[in-house]
Amino acid sequence: MSLYFKKKRGNLEENGFSNQPADYFREAIEKKKIKLAEWLNHKTGSYSPIQKKAALIIFCIFFGGLSFYILTGSIHSHNFNTRALIITHLKSGMPPSRTQVISDTIFRQAQRTKRFLDSLRTNDTAKFKAILLAKPYLLNNLQLIESIYKSQFK
């Protein structure tokens, strides 16, 4: 068994390895780029300079407009008044405002979410971590909903 786990002595060059990573991928990408450039040159070789400029202008207008559309779609204003429950952070230095009444349906939904997250924590930790990275205050908000709900009936 020691034959398979024998540690090789010496530096990498003596054992036939290089300290630099292989340039295979870089060379493969360069070959693909050259091949694509030759294919495009062959396809557009019969175009006049005016046709090439018109195609470039159409390309720029189309993808510029698409980029502008995506940018404006990501900046649009959100309507925060449609939420059923707004939770304010109580440690912000501002006096706590009057809390809203939490209905039974919201509390049951919070409990279901809590059970779902608990099952994810034990079964699929990667998905659980992804959810917590996307919504970092989710567990705190669920606890806050539970404490507000229970304080309503005291």
pLDDT by 10s per residue, the chain, length 154 = 455 555 555 555 555 555 555 677 888 899 999 999 999 889 888 999 999 899 999 999 999 999 998 888 777 655 555 545 555 555 655 555 666 778 888 888 989 988 888 888 888 888 888 888 888 888 888 888 888 888 877 6
Determine the Cα–Cα distance for residues 107 and 144; give it in Å rounded to an integer. 11
Q: Is the whole model's pTM more than 0.75, yes or no?
A: no
Burial of 121 (0-12, 13-18, 19+ CB in 10 A): middle
Q: What is the pLDDT of residue 33?
A: 94
Dig out the tokens for 141 from the structure.
Answer: 């908000």
Where do the domains of the chain lie?
24-75, 84-152
Could you count the other beta carbons within 10 Å of the beta carbon of residue 84?
10
Q: What is the pLDDT of residue 123?
A: 87
Q: What is the pLDDT of residue 66?
A: 94
Burial of 146 (0-12, 13-18, 19+ CB in 10 A): middle
Could you count the other beta carbons within 10 Å of the beta carbon of residue 139?
14
The answer to whether the Cα torsion of 26, 32, 38, 41 is positive or negative is negative
Distance, CA of 70 to chain centre: 16
